[in-house]
Amino acid sequence: MPAEFRIVRTPGALTTAMEAWKRSGYRVALVPTMGALHAGHLALVAEGLKHADKVAASIFVNPKQFGPLEDLDKYPRDEAGDAAKLQAAGCELLYAPSLADMYPPGFASYVKVAGLPDRLCGAVRPGHFDGVATVVSKLLAASRADVGVFGEKDWQQLAIIRRMAADLDLGTRIIGAGIVRDDDGLALSSRNMYLSVGERAQALALPKALAAAREALNGGAAVAPVLAAAHLALAQAGFNRVDYVELVDGETLMPLDAVAVGARLMAAGVVGTTRLIDNAAV
């Protein structure tokens, strides 16, 4: 366990701490999160330690990426528990700003990536990715991180952040880390704690449908019937809504009608009242 673990709460304090590390010759990584940390988040810390000497994490439940009917108020929060997990994982700095420190009165600037947010989750969650791009650009700017680590679980988010970091010359290398799953295959998510036992069982249809679709596509099956079968499997398993099941180019996120290098299967739907997403390489 690292000797040092500190919590800072203002952008300026984050900059000071990260700059001090950089002046000492360390490469620094930032792992942005919304807290309620699980093994998926801690894998991002481990990934950060492969690319940097010092890893900082941030916890900020960003209101700007929640829609008016979404779960902002009930989003799980446990800073003390999260801090202990981060420290045990080798993270040495936690940035946990207040709402007022992140968005002081008069805040008026937004980052909007064109195109990539229009489809998939962005079509169902208008404005969500503008909120994400805005907060991540602030986190990367204040941290001056050499490396930013994000999970492949949120594939569309990762694609948007890569685009934004490149377009805005943020100077942070964006690293994607693989999806961490429960033993039964369900991708870990802070929102899984909303699921009842029955819903948890229904949710398993999501990784199962993706795995079946992936196998069929890798075996040479035609794309449209494979996607339709996955969609049907989710509906039959009790998903209240299937937002999409698509095969897309992993970088442009545009739909593909045949498997190609870099293709990604993407799916999202609602179990009970909980929206779940997952994806897989093909």
Residue ranges binding ligand AMP (CB under 6 A): 33-34, 40-41, 43-44, 150-151, 153-154, 177, 179-180, 187-190
> Could you say which DSSP state residue 114 is in?
S
Cβ at position 202, least distance to ligand AMP in Å: 18
25 annotated among ligand-binding-site residues: no
Q: CB-wise, 83 or 187, nearer to ligand AMP? A: 187
Active-site pick, 41, 51, 128, 231: 41
Other C-beta atoms closer than 10 Å to the C-beta of 206 total 26
Residue closer to ligand AMP, measured from CB, 147 or 180:
180
Q: Is 34 annotated for ligand binding?
A: yes
In the residue annotation, 51 being an active-site residue is answered as no
Residue 127 marked as a ligand binder: no
Residue 36 Cβ, how far from ligand AMP at the closest point, in Å? Answer: 7
Is 153 marked as binding a ligand?
yes
Residue 95 CA to residue 7 CA, distance in Å, equals 6
Min dist CB 113 to ligand AMP, Å, is 16
| Separation between Cα atoms, residue 259 and residue 265, nearest integer Å | 10
Block residue for tokens 């490469």:
27
280 and 210 Cβ atoms separated by less than 8 Å: yes
Q: How far apart are CA 64 and CA 135, in angstroms?
A: 8
Q: Any binding-site annotation on 87?
A: no
Per DSSP, the three-state class of 149 is strand
> Which residue has the closest beta carbon to ligand AMP?
151
Q: Are 168 and 196 in contact (CB under 8 A)?
A: no
Contact of 247 with 259, CB cutoff 8 Å? yes
Closer residue to ligand AMP (CB): 116 or 180:
180
* Residue 243 CB-half CA count within 13 A: 19
**Phi then psi dihedrals of residue 87, to 5 deg:** -60, -45
Nearer residue to ligand AMP within complex by CB, 153 or 231? 153
Minimum CB separation from ligand AMP for residue 59, in Å? 8
Q: Are 231 and 198 in contact (CB under 8 A)?
A: no
The binding site comprises 34-41, 65, 151-154, 157, 180, 188-191
Annotated binding site for beta-alanine: 65
* Binding site residue list for ATP: 34-41, 151-154, 180, 188-191
Residues with catalytic function: 41
